[in-house]
Amino acid sequence: MSDDFIDSNVFIYLFDETDERKREIADGIVKSALQDHSASVSFQVVQEVLNVVTRKLPTTMTAEDAGRFLEQVLGPLWRTYPSLALYRRALGVQARYRLSFYDSLIIAAALEAGCSRLYSEDLQDGQRIEGLTIENPFREL
């Protein structure tokens, strides 16, 4: 069990050369998660991040660099894997909260990991779903 679940957008901001504030916030979240072993990610986050860093960034990572990022950053946080139960839970979240399937899958993975907070820029800040609170770490106060 961990306290936090980190959505892929947080990892992507580690490489954002246009927004220093968001890059620093993302860096703090990820460093703390790795140091304290206090966060989780799912297979979906791993896939999305690797796709972006190798194909969609202005300066993409080589396969070798992406492999190091996988081993050193994503791998140590990876706790949720695909299962029939996970997909059933995602479908339940999707039906109940009328979210996209992929957003529902992120929420279901966070719930399965026993997280109490989901860091995501893509979902409604402050929303609570089955004991999980969604927090946009990049919101302007």
Domain segments of the chain as ranges: 4-135
- Helix segments in the chain, DSSP class H: 8-12, 20-36, 43-55, 63-69, 75-77, 84-97, 101-112
pLDDT, residue 94, reads 98
d(CA 4, CA 37): 10
* Three-state secondary-structure class, residue 118: strand
Read off the pLDDT of each residue in 42-70 and give the average, rounded to a whole number.
Answer: 97
> For the whole model, what pTM was predicted?
0.95
Architecture of domain 4-135: 3-Layer(aba) Sandwich (3.40)
* Chain mean pLDDT for the chain: 96
Average pLDDT of 66-85? 98
Residues 91-120 pLDDT 10s: 999 999 999 999 999 999 999 999 999 999
Cα atoms in the 13 Å half-sphere on the side-chain side of 105: 15
| Cα gap 61→59, rounded to integer Å | 7
pLDDT at 36 over 90: yes
* pLDDT at position 1 over 60: no
Average pLDDT score over residue span 61-84: 97
Q: What is the pLDDT of residue 2?
A: 61
What is the DSSP pairing of strand 78-80 with strand 128-129? unpaired
